[in-house]
Amino acid sequence: MSNFSLSSRSEQDITVMMPKGYINNIGAERLELTSEEFIGRGSNKLVVNFTDVKFINTIGLSIFLSMVQNMLESNSQLCFTNMKKDHREMFEMAGLIKHVRVFKDEKDAFNYLNGRS
Amino acid sequence: MSDSKFHLKRLMFSIASLVDLGQEATSSKDLSAKMKSALYVITGTFSVPRAALFVYHPKHRSLELLADKGYKESARQEIKLSVLPQHIKHFHVNEPHSIHEMVGSPFYERNDQVFSKLQTRLFIPLFAKDEFVGAIALGKKLGRESFRQNEKDVLRVVAHQMAITLYNVTLFGELTKKAAENKKLYESMRRIYHDTVQAFSAAIDAKDGYTKDHSYRVACYAVAIARELRWKKMDVEGLYVAGLLHDIGKIIIDTKVIKKGEGLTTLEKNEINKHPQISYDILSKIKFPWKNIERFVLHHHERLDGKGYPDALRSTELSDGEKILALVDAFDAMTTDRPYRDKLGLDEAFKEVLKCGGTQFDEQITSTFFNLLLRELSGEVKDPQILPHLRSNGTDPSAPNWAWVQASGSPSGSCRDKRENSDPLFSRFESRVEDSGKQPQGSWIRPLYVTRHK
């Protein structure tokens, strides 16, 4: 049984992705593929809400890395919200945090992406 | 975060990466998934969005893509590195090679377009047990930072682990392939064995038109009993072969004597009775993949009371296999026409076997055989093993008269000493049809009949 699931929704021109569970195996690559799909459809504002993420290992980190790389190459904007401290530290360690905007919650991310902050 | 705290965290992160890598290397995933996961650990650890893992094919003199991260499908199909033995000599074992330092080398020049397509920054040749097994090509880091020395140090450790993993999975893959080939070869040999055995069996039965398919039926009946007794598959197969070959010794006995039937001289009887020993002599020269075949064959005319031949063994000295063959051989003889008598009906054959329970035939094995046949008759058995042969042999099992079975008592009637019997081929089948008027009262078999056919 997979310990990972993903839901997503679009509000205005922003796509919100909500991964759930363990991001520690290739199965979580769905996150990267889904973000590619949205970018392909012209959506260039993405938010990843980490509320339900329980664990991330280096495989998970690799998946986020590719997401960030794709965002950079497509001039899209990527925001992370609701991150736990240890997840954030891991992303800092990998040098990934420099390329994304991290917000406390979705509301702050939406304000940023809509140019209100 | 202070510098010392950051370095400590970084160290912890590297250790965690190695743990992740170890977990992936020892996981039960298949080769491709395992190596892909391991590559993802590396890309995640070193912040490299694009990387490729290659396995070395000495025959093709190439490094072929095993797993990759971050490349488009179209680019992936063309990724292959050419590598010659003289190139390998220049590789440093599990050492990250900066691509800039490799420029100008024969290996780089041969593959420069591929390296360019991969945007390779580091090339790490993988060695395990002094054997070149593959390589990792890492693209640029996110944010275009260069690889730090401490990262290269960790990469060396990671490369070593990846090399061992690649070596093991490749070896395992080869062993699995070999095992599959061997299994195929074994199956093929097994088929040849069976075909040969079948051919011998047909030759044996062809000696006498009356015994056509006798060996085959004996083999099938024996298998049915062995399966009921929960024998192992290989042992069942062995008994099947023994059933097919049990009369092979008859091949060298004069056909006239075999077909003569009644009125055999003592000399002729003795000649006939040699066939188990001859069968044994023939089969003991063959190294079968199954156990005890020659022994089963040698003793298929033995009796529990020690009055059988050739060794006059008693019950405790006989194995189940020998007892099974003795029973089904006799049973098939009873239910088959002979030149000197008509075959018995099924209930008559049952009576005869019952009479000889405990003296000639093993009671438990007989019980198992009859029980199975009764279940086949009642339609309980999906794939009957006895009935079809009885039917093809002209025996009508549809309306047997079971009423004679008594509710209690012990087997009655007598199995005459086979040495006094005039039936040349089936001398262990001593009881005669005219004796069947007696009601055998074998309590060991009775419950089955009573419950199913009262």
Give the C-alpha separation, B286 to B293, whole Å: 10
Query: How many angstroms separate the CA of residue B74 from the nearest CA in chain A?
Result: 16
Q: For chains A and B, what is the number of CB pairs under 8 angstroms?
A: 70
* pLDDT exceeds 80 at position B249: yes
The chain-wide mean pLDDT, for chain B, equals: 82
Residue B356 pLDDT grade (very low, low, confident, very high; cuts 50, 70, 90): very high
| pTM reported for the whole predicted model | 0.58
Residues of A in contact with B17 (CB under 8 A): 58
Out of B24, B40, B142, closest to residue A69 by CB: B142
Among A14, A8, A4, A13, smallest CA distance to A79 is for A14
pLDDT (average), residues B247-257: 88
Domain B207-453 belongs in CATH node 1.10.3730.10: no
Kindly list the distances between the CA atom of residue B361 and the CA atoms of A60, B148, B229, B345, B433, in Å, as whole numbers in the listed order. Answer: 70, 84, 16, 19, 18
Query: How many angstroms separate the CA of residue A8 from the nearest CA in chain B?
Result: 23
Q: Does A61 touch chain B (CB under 8 A)?
A: yes
* pLDDT exceeds 80 at position B353: yes
Instruction: Give per-residue pLDDT as tens, B86-140.
Output: 999 999 999 999 999 999 999 999 999 999 989 999 999 999 999 999 999 999 9
Total count of domains within chain A = 1
The pLDDT of residue A42 is: 87
Q: Does B20 touch chain A (CB under 8 A)?
A: yes
**What tokens appear for B342 in the block?**
């008509």
Residues of B in contact with A96 (CB under 8 A): 47, 142
Percent share of chain B, pLDDT over 90: 45
The single-letter DSSP state of residue B146 is P
Domain with A68 in it:
4-113
Do B41 and A60 make contact, defined as CB atoms within 8 angstroms? no
| Domain extents in chain B | 3-177, 207-453
* pLDDT exceeds 70 at position B360: yes
> ω into residue B96 within 30 of 0, thus cis?
no
Residue B212 pLDDT grade (very low, low, confident, very high; cuts 50, 70, 90): confident
Do A59 and B20 make contact, defined as CB atoms within 8 angstroms? yes
pLDDT (average), residues B9-32: 76
Domains B3-177 and B207-453 are alike in CATH topology: no
* pLDDT exceeds 60 at position B403: no
The pLDDT of residue B221 is: 95
Query: How many angstroms separate the CA of residue B114 from the nearest CA in chain A?
Result: 21
- DSSP track, B296-327: HHHTTT--TBS--SSS--BGGGS-HHHHHHHH
Residue B440 pLDDT grade (very low, low, confident, very high; cuts 50, 70, 90): very low
Interface test with B, best of A58, A68, A71, A78 (most B CBs within 10 A): A58
Q: Which CATH number fits domain B3-177: 3.30.450.40, 1.10.357.10, 1.10.287.3510, 3.40.50.300?
A: 3.30.450.40
Residue B380 pLDDT grade (very low, low, confident, very high; cuts 50, 70, 90): confident
The pLDDT of residue A46 is: 95
Do A68 and B13 make contact, defined as CB atoms within 8 angstroms? no
Give the C-alpha separation, B38 to B105, whole Å: 29
Residue A46 sits at the vertex; the CA angle it makes with B41 and A116, to the nearest 5 degrees, is 135
CATH of the domain at A103: 3.30.750.24
Lowest mean per-residue pLDDT among B6-10, B286-290, B317-321, B436-440: B436-440
Query: How many angstroms separate the CA of residue B113 from the nearest CA in chain A?
Result: 22
**pLDDT tens digit at each of 117 positions of chain A:** 468 999 999 988 899 999 999 998 888 899 999 999 998 888 899 999 999 999 999 899 999 999 999 898 899 999 999 999 999 988 988 888 889 999 999 999 999 999 866
Residue B175 sits at the vertex; the CA angle it makes with B169 and B178, to the nearest 5 degrees, is 145
Q: Which of residues 10-49 of A touch B (CB under 8 A)?
A: 24-26
* pLDDT exceeds 80 at position B427: no
* pLDDT exceeds 90 at position B202: no
The pLDDT of residue B383 is: 85
Residue B300 pLDDT grade (very low, low, confident, very high; cuts 50, 70, 90): very high
Q: Does B175 touch chain A (CB under 8 A)?
A: no
Q: Which of residues 128-157 of B touch A (CB under 8 A)?
A: 141-143, 145
Check residues B101 and B399 and name the one with the higher pLDDT. B101
* pLDDT exceeds 60 at position B411: no
The pLDDT of residue A100 is: 94
pLDDT (average), residues B412-434: 36
Do A94 and B44 make contact, defined as CB atoms within 8 angstroms? yes
The pLDDT of residue B400 is: 55
